[in-house]
Structure 1
Amino acid sequence: MVKNALQAQLLKAGLVDNKKAKKLTKQVQHEQRTGQNDDATFKAEIDRAKQEKIAKDQALNSEKQRILEEKALKASIIQMIKQHKVQQTDGDIAYQFIDDNKIKKIYLAQQVYNALVSGSLVIAKDQDSYACLPKELAEKIDQKMQGFILVNNNTENNSQTTDEEDPYAAYVIPDDLMW
């Protein structure tokens, strides 16, 4: 028996005989059961899906690798800060600086305060506290990753350019002004 209308029309027109129609319907049924119809498109779709999955996995792996490298770099910087910080900094002179848009105050000894103002020492963030570091180490840390060095009184950066129209150009404001 004929399964669809097209086959019936072809049989009536005499273009296909009964035997050939049955053979074609059996072949279509066999292809549907075994999944051989549109085999090339299925393979192409499977290959495309595999390629997309591989690309996605590579992107995720590179992102994970970047995060791990960043964590390792942060850990090494924290270790450098802990090893090289100036130990005897406690004193009675207050030094104020900005950290995360908040004014922070630490109390320093006079010698540490003078070194900090002159630029030979810097203030770095040491997890939840602050540490005074030598300037050379601070430059190395700042090259590796930004955000750890909070106060760097570099004398080259403090040279102010005066504007000719500025009425207060003759009055120099000292950096170590005590309030």
Structure 2
Amino acid sequence: MSLQDQLMKAGLVSKHDAKKANKAKHRALKSGKKFVNEAKQDAAQKRVDQAERDRQLNAERKAEADKKALQAQIRQLITVNAQNRDRGEIAYNFSDSGKITKIFVTEKLQQGLINGQLAIAKLDDSYHLIPTGVADKVAQRDDSFIVLLNDRNAEAEVDEDDPYADYQIPDDLMW
């Protein structure tokens, strides 16, 4: 049973309309013109639209999965390479998002932070001391995790007109 027969049986199309459509189709085929089937065109367009939506959805899912994988890489880099600071007695102050924060470190860890050999990374509201090389890798992925990374060879540029240029500030100044 054809679609046309089903439509006539349902009362949606009359016999007159069905004959008229058949004649138009027959004339178009005889004259060499291609008969345009609107239902096929609509179905094809819907398939194209659905494929595009699927591509966009897959791209969003892939981006989300990549983001989660990147977060996992950063988490692993920080946790695996974190320095142990259990018995730190020296308070080391630094700025985190405009707030002065204090962590307790050993003298060796303090020197590593001052000399730029260690960096401070923030993960889940806790601070971890990690080597500078690891901090660089973390910063390449997402620099928002690195709170403090002192430059190893940072020589402060002195302004010629600075009246205090002759007075050097010690690196281990505690504040």
TM superposition score normalised by structure 2: 0.71
Q: Paired residue for 1:138?
A: 135
Q: Give the deviation of 1:103 after TM superposition.
A: 2.4
1:72 aligns with 2:61: no
Deviates more, 1:168-177 or 1:121-130: 168-177
Q: Paired residue for 1:6?
A: none
Unaligned runs of 5+ in 1: 1-24
Task: Find 2:125's aligned residue among 128, 135, 138.
Answer: 128
Give distance in 1, aligned partners of 2:20 and 2:125.
Answer: 69
Give distance in 2, aligned partners of 1:152 and 1:84.
Answer: 15
Residue type matched to 1:161 in 2? E
Query: CA, structure 1 residues 174+54, in 2 after alignment: closer, same or farther (shift >3 Å)?
Result: farther
Residue type matched to 2:40 in 1? K
Query: CA, structure 1 residues 91+41, in 2 after alignment: closer, same or farther (shift >3 Å)?
Result: same
| Structure of greater Rg | 1
Q: Paired residue for 1:116?
A: 113
The percent identity for this pair of structures is 35
Residue type matched to 2:113 in 1? L
Give distance in 2, aligned partners of 1:173 and 1:118.
Answer: 14
Q: Contact (CA 8 Å) 2:92, 2:110: kept in 1 or not?
A: yes
Q: Paired residue for 1:22?
A: none
Unaligned runs of 5+ in 2: 1-13, 26-34
Task: Find 1:49's aligned residue among 46, 49, 66.
Answer: 46
Q: Paired residue for 1:16?
A: none
Give distance in 2, aligned partners of 1:161 and 1:26.
Answer: 94
Give distance in 1, aligned partners of 2:49 and 2:156.
Answer: 56
Q: Give the deviation of 1:140 after TM superposition.
A: 1.9
CA RMSD of superposed structures (Å)? 2.7
Give distance in 2, aligned partners of 1:88 and 1:95.
Answer: 12
Q: Give the deviation of 1:51 after TM superposition.
A: 1.1
3-state SS of paired residue (2:157): coil
Aligned residues between the structures: 150
Query: CA, structure 1 residues 43+93, in 2 after alignment: closer, same or farther (shift >3 Å)?
Result: same
Taking the TM superposition and a 5 Å limit, the aligned residue runs for 1:30-179 are 40-156=37-153, 158-179=154-175
Residue type matched to 1:160 in 2? A
Give distance in 2, aligned partners of 1:74 and 1:58.
Answer: 24
